[in-house]
Structure 1
Amino acid sequence: MPVPAHPHHLQLTLANGLRVSLRHAPHLKRCAAALRVAAGSHDVPLAWPGLAHFLEHLLFLGTEAFPASDGLMAYVQRHGGQVNASTRERTTDFFFEVPKQVLGEALQRLADMLAQPRLAMDDQLREREVLQAEFVAWSQDAEAQHQVALLEGLAAGHPLRGFHAGNRDSLPVPHEDFQQGLHTFYQGFYHTGQMTLSLAGPQSLEALQVLAQRFGDSLRPGPLRPQQAPPALMSGDKHRYSHLEKNRLHHIIACNTPREALQFLCTWLNAAAPGGLLAELKTRGWASALHAKVLYAFAGQALLDIEFTLGPKGAQQAPAIEALLNDWLSFFAHSDWTALRAEYALLVARQQQTRGALALARQETPQLCEEHCQTLQAMLDAQHLTPAEQAWKLPPANPFLQQASKEQRPGLIRGQTSAHRGLRSFAQDRSRGRRDLPALTFSRALPDDNDEGALYLRWQFDSSEHGAFFPRLASSLQPLRENARQAGVEISFEAIGNDGLLRMTGLHEPMPLIVEQLARDLAQPDASLWQETPASPAPQMAIRELLKALPASTADTGLIADLNVLPDLWATAHWQGLGVGLPAACEMAIKSAAARLPGQCADVEHKTQPINGQHRWQTVNTAGDEAALLLFCPAPSQSLADEADWRLLAHLAQTPFYQRLRVELQVGYAVFSGIRQLNGQTGLLLGVQSPSVALEGLLTHIRAFLMQLPALINADENMGNAALAEQFSPHALPIPQAAEWLWQARLAGHGADYLEQLQQLIQTRTRQQLINAAQQLNQAAGGWLCLANGAAVGDPWQL
């Protein structure tokens, strides 16, 4: 395996106290910035819960130099980037990712909003209502309330037990003492001494340092202000407790172990291989899933949360589950970690190699060192564990983390035995490897000079029996997905109507081995995994549930599909595939491995189902009382000209739509719009969730905005053709985004020059063409599809 090209890293402190972390990664297509303020929810005066979160919101509302329409959020979105912020217990983060050429302009806006916030009274009153809406949604969210209950075992005086979201009652904006508290918090923490800027991109370290210095010069200087240490996590000498709620059992351990050491422990505790804790719990029917994570870490305090999703027999076995956990921890504490540390180093290296610009800028996990292991050993020893009684086993090495030899290529992944190899002989496999695969193509639209690539595989079935099979197949692929993820390849599998789509993105080096294993797992799934009932995901906020329902996914029928029928199902299936960004040697290896995939490799015409002129309504049941809807407006046709128009409309509408409904009208706190492609259809997607406006009102607001699009187009001096067209440059496109666009283009019947043609069309669209497109949009020329958590609001909507 070639030596990974790790980013070059430089850390320094500027003269004004700003700490700077720079990462030069030549393979990146974009660059990113992350600004961390050493102040969070737990640093706020007790009188004003939520003040830190409130200030984070206020900083995005524009400055004198850059009003909201030209501020950081609008600017980043205009250039196809992503931007967000997060207020945690002891930190507040602002971060974005943009094309290389606009990093300086984006940093200028970030610096200005941090150094010159308006904090106007009318802005504060409006934004407080947004936090109030978020608070209402939070108070009704079952998962949020579960987290509150989970922390009740901590000491009453620890800030983790407190309320920090902010609402109308905790943020008395008009009061003079509150304003004094807000400004004091801002003045005390929002200066260079409390800030760390991280930049990551393909630029040289020298170029990044120039940008960092310019950014730092715009900030208000100030000294480092140490944050107050929190009280003890638990009272007395108590250091662990359990929390049981419905089908979830948490075991919480309080310690002073560094995050890096706990993450090392979690990696092996979460392993699902035979001989591990989860495998034993599944065998006994006590738990179906295990997820250990670091819940909190600050100033020498840490919380380790070990969560068990209980099986049918698990609720009555909480003490026995805890005993098994202790037995495994004892086994792990007395094991030789040499091989585990070596594999963990490979795992961390792969993560470093595959991180995008934003993940690199935000990363804070150094390599595991000897001192970390010593503190972990001390923490385990402090649990006073008795010698292990169970015959536990450490998980085997992940075969995808290293290039296997030719003799190892047909090998097995974690948790499998020779019974899972499949029934074909090597001679049969070699014979199939020589067969032509007419429907597996490889795009030349992107350069193949980096480490990343993508592979899309789509199976089409002519039987309706697939409904119960897809969830089972997805469940049986879980070990493969986890091993691939550790090796730098993300795999997703979803059902869309009568089809199954598998996406594989990440490092291309392990992909041929992964495809070989995929072929075995699909043709002959692990029987024990097949019989498991797929876990039901926890309900999310309404708008997210609607987004999950937007693709016409096949739901589990509740039946356990007969594994013996699977060969018959594959016998009538056809599959096609697309590889993107893969070098020639990798293509050949993937072709050889893909020859063993079940089903026939053959092009089957993809037929879209246009809804031109129709208004369709689909009701989706969600939790909570808030109204939420998605409006999907497909382009009138699949022509590239229509796609170019629709992309420009979405480009122009994104910021004004958010500004109108979220800021001016305060209709809802979840407001967004953008382009969405579904099964080869390009459409404009608008979404809103509101605590105060019913579905009919939300739709009225959206219609009113869309009716104003022609006027908006006429009023905009620069329609943004150049900025949008630049996003389609092959040298600027991240592999996952480019692969998705090229796959959708294939489904729509476009040629190999799709990116080039679309870029040219976007560049040359005229104002009149865009106005005509806006009129077609309002006339529902391509149709309108509304997904909502309530009944249709009348004509012209049809179920």
Structure 2
Amino acid sequence: MPAPPPPHHLHLTLANGLGVSLRHAPRLKRSAAALRVAAGSHDVPLAWPGLAHFLEHLLFLGTERFPTEEGLMAYVQRHGGQVNASTRERTTDFFFELPLASFADGLERLADMLTHPRLSLDDQLREREVLHAEFIAWSQDAKAQQQVALLTGVAVDHPLRGFHAGNRDSLPVEREAFQHALRAFHQGFYQSGQMTLCLAGPQSLAELETLARRFGEALTSGPRHPQVAPSALMSSAARSYQHVDGNHLHQVISSEAPREALDFLCLWLNAAAPGGLLAELQTQRLATALHASVIYHFAGQALLAIDFTLGAQHDSATQIEALLHDWLSFFAHSDWTSLREEFALLAARQHQVQGALALARHASEGLEAQLSEQAVSALKALLDALHLPPSRHPWRLPPNNPFLRPAAKEERAGLIRGQTSAHRGLRTFAQDRSRGRREQSALTFSPALANDTDEGALYLHWRFDSAAPAGLDSTLQALVENARQAGVELSFDANGQDAVVKIVGLQDPMPAVLEALALGLNQAPAAPLASPPLIAIRALLKALPMCCAGTVSGADEPQARWASARWQGLAVGFSAAHEAAIKAAAARLPGQPTSLAYQSPSLGGQRLWHKVKTDASDAALLLFCPTPAQSLADEAAWRLLGHLLQAPFYQRLRVELQVGYAVFSGIRQVNGQTGLLFGVQSPNVALAAIVDHLHAFLRQLPALIASSDDLGNDALAQQFTTQALPVAQAAELLWHAHLTGHPSDYLAQLQQQILALTRQDLQHAAQQLQDAAGGWRCLANGPRIDDTWRTAS
């Protein structure tokens, strides 16, 4: 009998009470940690709203051992990783992802900042201003205020109804009583018994356990303190209520069911298949969209919110509620056997494709992969408690996801799906050979990545004679969701006359996804979905590709243009068998396959100002600085410059000057064009002053380069090895290289260029940046500030 496969996950509790969850996934290129503290906004003394969120911010401001410039955030950014934190009602999460070689050092920094924060008064005064700026943005954000209004049906004495954001008034850091409460909260909750550490990576379980035990040893030991249970969610026996906000109707249901049971219900409520609730609402023009989600879950209390985007009839709440109750009644009395199997398949597939950070964060939630009998009973009890009348509508359960199971094999090689050999004469062999030659020139299979993994990536680029079609997200919404559930991310981007479809994920379902995409693209797009309001800086980021393309979308009818469009594609990471299947599926794509040249509009040293309308009143600005030329040498210099200045830029503008709460910099590639991107959003600093701060920082670059002992060549170059790059990130780099005309060994050449850069080279690049040798493109939510800028047409 063969030996059983080694386990891939492990749960244990260390002697000091630290909970540990380990995930071994050999396919991963990086490692991740998610640390959950069993304490959140609702655990704070009533006198100090926002204290938990404030402490989360303070922990990132450095320790005696690891000052800010050597702390976790700067370290992760320097090594090309991801890092963030989140304070929720009853939990606070810290999480990061790093390459294997630097992961242990990241864990060391995380443990130190959790255990030994400085909490200096100067740090607190500065960070309070950041929280106050975030509070102003939160109070102006339509979605955030909708969430507050949504909870008005909850009992007034429940903590969900309280204020927890934190601002200048609720955080009196000068008062001794507040300082006592801040330190007491840290000492009481930031200890081993209150924490759970989840690690995910390609390391063996033994290696991950060693890292976890070393991490646990650095923590303050202490027992777990049970969190105080909240008061009742509802003030009466009612189990649900409605809330109307503009064109949104919210149906809120309270429950004691486990989280996985509610997630199971949400999955089928959200299904867009014919015969379901959403399809019927759309047919009757009562609602255009539906989204069910769990907005709160703690200590046996849960709130399920169903958000209906209303159609033309804004007075349709009674009809919608009646249909919802009818569907819930139908669902309650249905056989869930196949749905439970599908639910388990979906969970297994997500574990199969999730990156290290997503795996670690999912493990920290502690959710079951399957719907247990206990969860089924709880969900049945919830539906029974609603006292629903028998269903009278002919509802249908959604079909199985077609991409979750192996596709049926074709009857005969070379035949279109659905044909038999009797149909062979529909296409001549000469036509086959001709079509094959055109596909070969249009669809490039890059050898840049090894083809021995389960993942691949496909980029498809169409060019139209006029504006690219809009509304693909609406037309193909069901396809996007089915593909995502099956481990394939499908996204669309239309800029001017160009449209790009990106397909990244598991190779096995990808040919079937591509065939369904071809079918969908040949249908008339629906009206685009209404986009939710964005904070100002996100609105600018969304507008950046269009501004760089130098074109504006038209509003003419796009239906007939796919057939005459020209397209090309790039595929990376596919095995020989999958390559053949992708080629066959690509033959069904609309348009004419050809090789397209792409040339980013040159700024010619100009400084262009794009005024972009945003919903928020905060001043927001993006400065995009393209490389002087599209050479590998310039790209390498720009990348190293961005690598060196990222942490100092954040430290100067965000921490020291308090210019804004959204402050970032880094390399951004737009349609093959590489540039340095700086972003700032501020509630109290005008656009002209933000630009002055950017100029002042750029003038300091020569001194920064001269004083740096290590420019970071080695650390940056290591980020571009194919062994360290996840497929999705590698494919994105290779796509932009393909647009620019770089060779297939682009990644290796870029590494060599980065390693060869000298201090003198970097000083030259810094001077080119200051002189706008490649031009500057500014996107802002206000008019140009002076005549040094030219208004973009």
* TM-score, normalisation: structure 2: 0.95
Matched, 1:60 2:60: yes
Contact 2:497–2:553 (Cα < 8 Å) also in 1: no
Shift of 1:472: 2.9
Residue of structure 1 equivalent to 2:372: 369
User: 1:362-761 residue pairs with structure 2 within 5 A?
Assistant: 362-363=361-362, 364=365, 365-367=367-369, 368-406=371-409, 428=426, 435-436=435-436, 437=439, 438-461=441-464, 463-464=465-466, 466-467=467-468, 470-525=469-524, 530=525, 532-552=526-546, 561=557, 563=559, 566=560, 569-761=561-753
Residue of structure 1 equivalent to 2:273: 273
Deviations 1:196-239 (A, max 9, x none): 01100000111111111111111100001000000110012111
- Aligned residue for 1:552, secondary structure, equals helix
Contact 2:473–2:529 (Cα < 8 Å) also in 1: no
Greater shift in the superposed pair: 437-446 or 674-683? 437-446
Shift of 1:473: 3.3
Rounded to whole Å, the distance in 2 between the matches of 1:757 and 1:574 is 30
Shift of 1:158: 0.5
- For 1:790, the aligned partner's letter is G
- Aligned residue for 2:167, secondary structure, equals coil
- Aligned residue for 1:571, secondary structure, equals coil
Contact 2:662–2:679 (Cα < 8 Å) also in 1: yes
Rounded to whole Å, the distance in 2 between the matches of 1:30 and 1:253 is 40
Rounded to whole Å, the distance in 2 between the matches of 1:427 and 1:301 is 65
Rounded to whole Å, the distance in 2 between the matches of 1:514 and 1:588 is 15
Shift of 1:429: 7.5
Contact 1:617–1:792 (Cα < 8 Å) also in 2: yes
Contact 2:625–2:775 (Cα < 8 Å) also in 1: yes
User: 1:231-380 residue pairs with structure 2 within 5 A?
Assistant: 231-313=231-313, 315-363=314-362, 364=365, 365-367=367-369, 368-380=371-383
Shift of 1:26: 0.3
Rounded to whole Å, the distance in 1 between the matches of 2:604 and 2:39 is 52
Residue of structure 2 equivalent to 1:31: 31
Shift of 1:558: 5.5
> Alignment RMSD, CA only?
1.9
Residue of structure 2 equivalent to 1:224: 224
Contact 1:429–1:596 (Cα < 8 Å) also in 2: no
- Aligned residue for 1:54, secondary structure, equals helix
Contact 2:38–2:91 (Cα < 8 Å) also in 1: yes
Rounded to whole Å, the distance in 1 between the matches of 2:228 and 2:425 is 69
Rounded to whole Å, the distance in 2 between the matches of 1:573 and 1:408 is 32
Greater shift in the superposed pair: 538-547 or 6-15? 6-15
- For 1:545, the aligned partner's letter is A
Shift of 1:482: 1.2
Rounded to whole Å, the distance in 2 between the matches of 1:7 and 1:90 is 31
Alignment length, in residue pairs? 770
Q: 1:72 to 1:387 in 2, by over 3 A?
A: same
- For 2:595, the aligned partner's letter is D
Percent of aligned pairs with the same residue?
Answer: 64
Contact 2:521–2:562 (Cα < 8 Å) also in 1: no
- Aligned residue for 1:731, secondary structure, equals coil
Matched, 1:791 2:780: no
Q: 1:760 to 1:371 in 2, by over 3 A?
A: same
Contact 2:495–2:553 (Cα < 8 Å) also in 1: no
Contact 1:7–1:23 (Cα < 8 Å) also in 2: no
- For 2:664, the aligned partner's letter is F
Rounded to whole Å, the distance in 1 between the matches of 2:292 and 2:475 is 21
Rounded to whole Å, the distance in 2 between the matches of 1:201 and 1:722 is 23
Shift of 1:163: 0.6
Contact 2:471–2:529 (Cα < 8 Å) also in 1: no
Q: 1:430 to 1:376 in 2, by over 3 A?
A: farther
Shift of 1:407: 5.4
- Aligned residue for 1:723, secondary structure, equals helix
Residue of structure 2 equivalent to 1:210: 210
Rounded to whole Å, the distance in 1 between the matches of 2:668 and 2:378 is 48
Contact 2:272–2:279 (Cα < 8 Å) also in 1: yes
Contact 1:447–1:731 (Cα < 8 Å) also in 2: no
- For 2:303, the aligned partner's letter is L
Contact 1:433–1:596 (Cα < 8 Å) also in 2: no
Shift of 1:524: 3.3
- Aligned residue for 1:63, secondary structure, equals coil
- Aligned residue for 1:399, secondary structure, equals coil
Contact 2:637–2:762 (Cα < 8 Å) also in 1: yes
Rounded to whole Å, the distance in 1 between the matches of 2:553 and 2:786 is 31
Contact 2:443–2:569 (Cα < 8 Å) also in 1: yes
- For 2:506, the aligned partner's letter is L
- Aligned residue for 2:474, secondary structure, equals helix
Shift of 1:795: 2.0
Rounded to whole Å, the distance in 1 between the matches of 2:432 and 2:785 is 56
Q: 1:454 to 1:7 in 2, by over 3 A?
A: farther
Rounded to whole Å, the distance in 2 between the matches of 1:613 and 1:214 is 53
Shift of 1:534: 1.9
- Aligned residue for 2:660, secondary structure, equals coil
Q: 1:108 to 1:409 in 2, by over 3 A?
A: farther
Shift of 1:480: 1.2
Q: 1:20 to 1:429 in 2, by over 3 A?
A: farther
- For 1:577, the aligned partner's letter is G
Shift of 1:428: 4.9
Shift of 1:283: 0.7
- Aligned residue for 1:400, secondary structure, equals coil
Q: Any gaps of 5 or more consecutive residues in structure 2?
A: none
Q: 1:669 to 1:425 in 2, by over 3 A?
A: farther
* TM-score, normalisation: structure 1: 0.94
- Aligned residue for 2:149, secondary structure, equals helix
Q: 1:743 to 1:426 in 2, by over 3 A?
A: farther
